[in-house]
Amino acid sequence: MENATVSLRAQNANADLIAEDLRRRLGVQKFNAWFGRGASISMPQGVLKVCAPNYFVSNWIESHFYEELRLACREAGGTGEVNIYVDSSAAPPANKSRLDGQARLVSAAGAASRPAHCHAALRYRLDDFVVGESNKLAYSAACAIADGEGPFSHLFVHGPCGVGKTHLLQGVCNRASARRLAWRYVTGEQFTNEFIASVRSRGGDEFRNRYRRLDLLVIDDVHFLASKKATQDEFLHTFNAIQSAGKRIVLASDAHPRLVGDMNEQLVSRFIAGMVVKVETPDNNLRLEILRRRAAAMKIAPSPDVLAYIASNVRGSVRELEGSLLKLAAVASLGDAPMTVKLASEALADSISRNTGTHSLDDVESAVGAFFGITPADLHSSRRTRLVSLARMLAAFLARRRTSMSFPEIARHMGKNHSSIILAVQKMEQLLARNEEVSWSTPMGVKRMRAGQLVELLGAQLD
C-alpha cells in the first residue's frame, strides 16, 4: 500500500511538471482553453496519457499540441510516448467561457497553429497506412501522385472526420521529401490566415512566391475556404499557376467539392476535373487490422476476442477506434486487471452506446461545418449569429435523425443544455413540415434554401 501511494504521488508530481511545462510552451490562454477544464494529464510508467472530454478536443490536442506533449513528457523524465483518449463521463459541466475561448482560438489560429512543413518529416507515412476496401482507391491515388505517376495532376480526398485523410496527405508529403521535391503542407485555415496577413502587411509577392513555385501543394481541410471570397480568388490563381507549371496538388475535405457551401464555382470545377475519391468509414475487417497494428505499436497484447469485440462495437472513426483501445489499456493498467471482453464492455460502454447508430455526432458536425464554412468549436460556442444558430440547429436535428444519441448526450457533446437541443430539433421539424425557406449571411451575400433541400444536401454528405 505504501509503495502504491508513493507511486501515485510521483505520477501526480510528474503531471504537475508537465502541466507547468505545457503552460509555458503554449501560453496561459491556450493551456486554459484546452487543458484547464475537461482534459486531464497523467504519466504512469513514463507514458503521458491525456484524457479529453470529447473527440473534438481530443483531435484538436492531437493535431496541434502533439509535439509539445511529447517534449514535455521527456522533460519530465518520461519515454516521450503520448496516448490521447476520450472519456466523456469524466467531463465537467460545459463552461460557456471555455467553449467560447476554444472557438476564438480555432478561428484566430494563425500560421503558428500548424506549422507548414517544407523539409521536416510529418507524423504519418504512406507505408504505415492500413489499407482496406473502404480506402484502397484513395490510398492508390495518393501513392500515384506522390510517386509522380498517374494521369491526374491533382487529387481531392473527402470523407467523414477521422478516417485517414490527414494520414494520406502527410504520407504524400513525406514521400515527396524522399524525392527531394519542394512541397508545402498547410490547412485551409493556415492558408487563409497567411493570405490575410500578407494583405495587411502588403506582402503579396512573398505569399505568391511561397505557394506558386512548389512541386507539390497539399492543403488539408480545404472546406475552411468556404464563404471566404478573397481567399478563394487567391487560391484559384495559385491553383492555376501550379497546374500550368505541370506540378501537383492534393486537397482534403470533409465534404465532396459539390457539397462544400459557398465555394467559387470555378474552384469546384477544377476540383472535380481531377481525381475525386471518398474515404469511407472502415468496415469490420479493417477496424480489426487497425486495432492489431495499434496494439503492437503500444506493446500490448489483448486477446483476439477483445480486439474482435472492440472492432464489432466501436464503428466510428479510426481515431475513435484507437481511442477506445487506449482507454481500455489505461483502465486495465490502472486497475491492474487483465484486458478481457467483460472489462472492455464496462470501460467502453459510453463509446459503444454512441456507435449503435449509422453515424457519429463527429460525422454530423463535420458535414454541417463543411457546408457552412465553420468549425465544430463554433457549434459548441455561445455565438448566436444567424449562420451559427442555423448550423447548430441542423447539427442537433441530424444528430437525432442519424445517430442513436439521446438529447442529453447530444447536449453534453455540444456543450449545451438538453432543453436547447430539444427546442432546436422541434424548430427544425416545424420548418420541414412547412418546407419553409431558411437564409443565412455570407461574405458573398445572403443565401436562401428550402429547409427540406438543405437537409437533403447534408444527408447526401453523410450517406
Mean pLDDT per 10-residue segment, the chain (463 residues): 39 74 83 79 84 76 80 82 71 58 58 43 88 94 91 91 91 90 91 90 86 93 88 94 93 88 87 92 91 88 91 82 86 86 85 61 82 80 84 90 83 83 91 88 78 85 72
CB 375 within 8 A of CB 56: no
- The sheet that has 40-42: what strands, in order across it? 40-42, 48-52, 82-86
Condensed to tens digits (0 to 9), the pLDDT of residues 63-73 reads 778 878 888 88
Task: Give every CB contact of residue 383 below 8 A, 6+ residues apart in sequence.
Answer: 100, 103
> What local confidence, expressed as pLDDT, does residue 117 receive?
42
CB 167 within 8 A of CB 161: no
284-353: CATH topology: Helicase, Ruva Protein; domain 3 (1.10.8)
Here the cell at position 61 is 490536442
CB 41 within 8 A of CB 68: no
> What local confidence, expressed as pLDDT, does residue 54 receive?
73
Q: How many CB atoms lie within 10 A of CB 92?
A: 9
Q: How many CB atoms lie within 10 A of CB 269?
A: 10
CB 452 within 8 A of CB 435: yes
> What local confidence, expressed as pLDDT, does residue 299 receive?
86
What is the rounded CA–CA span in Å between residue 411 and residue 421?
6
- The sheet that has 216-220: what strands, in order across it? 183-187, 216-220, 248-253, 154-158, 275-278
CB 232 within 8 A of CB 269: no
* Widest Cα–Cα separation across the chain: 70
What is the rounded CA–CA span in Å between residue 384 and residue 142?
40
Strands 48-52 and 154-158: unpaired
DSSP three-state, residue 89: helix
> What local confidence, expressed as pLDDT, does residue 55 receive?
66
**Ramachandran bin of 336, using left for φ above 0, alpha for ψ from -120 to 50, beta for the remaining angles:** left
> In the chain, helix, strand, coil percent, each to 5?
60, 10, 30
CB 358 within 8 A of CB 339: no
CA 257, 258, 262: angle at the middle one, nearest 5?
A: 90
126-278: CATH topology: Rossmann fold (3.40.50)
Give domain limits for the chain: 2-92, 126-278, 284-353, 361-462
Q: Do domains 2-92 and 284-353 have the same CATH topology?
A: no
Condensed to tens digits (0 to 9), the pLDDT of residues 401-439 reads 888 788 888 888 888 888 889 999 999 999 998 889 998
Task: Give every CB contact of residue 131 below 8 A, 6+ residues apart in sequence.
Answer: 139
Q: Using alpha carbons, select from 287, 217, 281 the residue that is nearest to residue 252.
A: 217
CB 396 within 8 A of CB 428: yes
Strands 40-42 and 48-52: antiparallel
18-32: burial string, b at 16+ Cβ within 10 Å, e else: bbebbbebbeeebbe
> What local confidence, expressed as pLDDT, does residue 347 receive?
84
What is the rounded CA–CA span in Å between residue 259 and residue 263?
9
DSSP three-state, residue 358: coil
Here the cell at position 177 is 521529401
CB 150 within 8 A of CB 163: no
Instruction: Determine which helix (DSSP H) or strand (DSSP E) holds 352, and give its type and residue range.
Output: helix 349-353
What is the rounded CA–CA span in Å between residue 225 and residue 373?
7
Cβ neighbourhood burial of 57 (10 Å; 0-12, 13-18, 19+): buried
Q: Using alpha carbons, select from 166, 244, 167 the residue that is nearest to residue 212.
A: 244
From the options 1.10.3720.10, 3.40.50.300, 3.30.300.180, 3.30.420.40, give the CATH code of 2-92.
Answer: 3.30.300.180
CATH superfamily of 361-462: DnaA protein, C-terminal DNA-binding domain (1.10.1750.10)
* Alpha-helical regions (H) of 135-164: 136-146
